[in-house]
């Protein structure tokens, strides 16, 4: 994952209002990756 990709994902996470576990499940990511 590039820094740009992570920044985009992190912004989406902040706007989602979800916790990390739920956000990662929605994005098909492992929480440890995030």
Residues in the chain: 34
Parent domain of 14? 3-33
Instruction: Say which residue, 6 or 34, is predicted with more confidence.
Output: 6
CA distances from 19 to 2, 4, 12, 34 (A): 22, 21, 12, 12
> What is the Cα–Cα distance from 10 to 16, expressed in whole angstroms?
10
pLDDT, tens digit, for every residue of 5-31? 999 999 999 999 999 999 999 999 999
pLDDT at 34: 84
Domains contained in the chain, number: 1
pLDDT at 2: 93
DSSP states along the chain: --HHHHHHHHHHHHHH---HHHHHHHHT--TTT-
Q: How confident is the model at residue 1 (pLDDT cuts 50, 70, 90)?
A: confident
pLDDT at 6: 93
The pTM of the full predicted model, rounded to 2 decimals, is 0.77
């Amino acid at each position: 994952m590039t820094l740009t990709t992570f920044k985009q994902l992190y912004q989406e996470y902040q706007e989602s209002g979800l916790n990390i576990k739920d956000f990662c499940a929605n994005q098909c990511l492992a929480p440890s990756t995030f």
